[in-house]
Structure 1
Amino acid sequence: MTEEPARSASLQGVDRVLTVLEAFVGQAEWRVSDLAKHLGIHKAVTHRIVRSLEARHYLEQAEARGSYSLGPAAVALGRAAGRRAPRTTARRHLIRLAEQTGEVVLFYTLRGHRYVCVERLDINAETAVTVEIGDTIGLNAGAGKTLLAYQDERFLQEVLGAPLPRYTDRTPTDPGAIRDMLGRIRAQGYWVSDGEITPGTVGVSAPVRDADGGVRHCVCVTMLDRRVDERRLAGVSAAVRDTATAVSQSLGHRDGGAGP
């Protein structure tokens, strides 16, 4: 008989803690008395919640009896959520691209010295693509070079100085040739790969910039090579670049999108 009231009280406590934290989204600093009045929670209860959050570093007080603000634990939690955001943010743009092209659309993310597929859409597509969500691929192959092109020199040396995987007979593995390709990617803002991962397919990829201007993600469309002509390639390339720009802007980039 007492279990349900205890559970209700526990949930009420959790709800109050979240309500306190949410107040710092709309206002950076709060004094306990002002926060209690704003939330309609007794001052003593608010003080206990704030002190508990302070002990766990979700809130911090600049000086004795001063205002509270979000602490390092809350900031770290926000950054962790931000690392998951690109896939969610990009999805509506990727759906539009898949509907526009009728081809397989992929969204890749840099992971160490490789890259991983985090989204794949096959709307009305007949192309058999070997890449699945969760697959990690060498940065020398396919859309990986679109990510590699925008990393610093030390990163390039580490990647190109290690053994490079070969997926098909068209996968580039010569560091000098790859560097030439990276220069072309930076100049034109996209890359066209021909059978580098999946034989018989052509992939068009463009870089996505996040709020700080870094390139950690890219958009890719993969299609059967027998369906590709000059006009088709130009149209798909423009659509991929436009989508990468739209995703970049949705992630907070404000300097021309996904260009070099």
Structure 2
Amino acid sequence: MGSETLRIIDLSSAVDSSLYEPDPVTHDVLTPRQGALHMSAEMREHFGLELDPDELPDGEFLSLDRLALTTHTGTHVDAPSHYGSRASYGDGEPRHIDQMPLDWFFGPGVVLDLTDAPTGAVGAARLKKEFARIGHTPEPGEIVLLNTGAAARAGTREYFTEFAGLDGPAVRLLLDLGVRVIGTDAFSLDAPFGDVIARYRATGDRSVLWPAHVVGRDREYCQIERLANLEALPGPYGFQVACFPVKIAGAGAGWTRAVALVDEQ
């Protein structure tokens, strides 16, 4: 992949405190002037050093951002430990985000068009239909991205209530094919909370309760949630995806600046 012909497509949604979130984001900014005052006070308190902020150029130092948010805000990668405290595979201890192999998060990408799917859970048959349409079945190590059209509602309440997720058999199909990372432009890889609960109340079937996440207790895999700009991809495959998660010790998820890399040589 030659760097002179490499096109980078941003597939990430922003962490934006001005947009609606069920868990609101707090973003406080110290201006460069406030940063100078802060630095001066910190140096005095912790190191016994004195520096008048007005001696700095324009009386300014460095801006500083403080944020309060969950690791599930913006584009992020869910780790196996997010799905439950115990796993039926390996030693029974699901791995945290900082323990995941980096090679999982760089590889060939495949995007599946599910924009026609209504709010609810998409099944394995619908995925197989899409494989046939694009003439490609995902292979081991490929990163599968689901374009549900949900990104168009980002920043609204409907983004969290109106989208398509996967059911358990659909997730297992992808995992059986050797996929270890599944991404979506929706809030969740599962159907919305309201849809899940309504189907459970109607049927009493516990298998409809967040099956995409529950599968992760038996099969080790990662989800990328809240992707964006999937319509900008040049085709259903023929590109690379990089989605390295931020290394947060002991965390069940980590933010990522997910991108697609397209060799246009």
| Rg larger in structure | 1
Work out which structure has the larger RCO, using CA pairs closer than 8 Å and 6 or more positions apart in sequence.
2
TM-score, normalization: structure 2? Answer: 0.27
The answer to which structure has the higher helix fraction is: 1
- What TM-score do the two structures reach when normalised by structure 1? 0.28
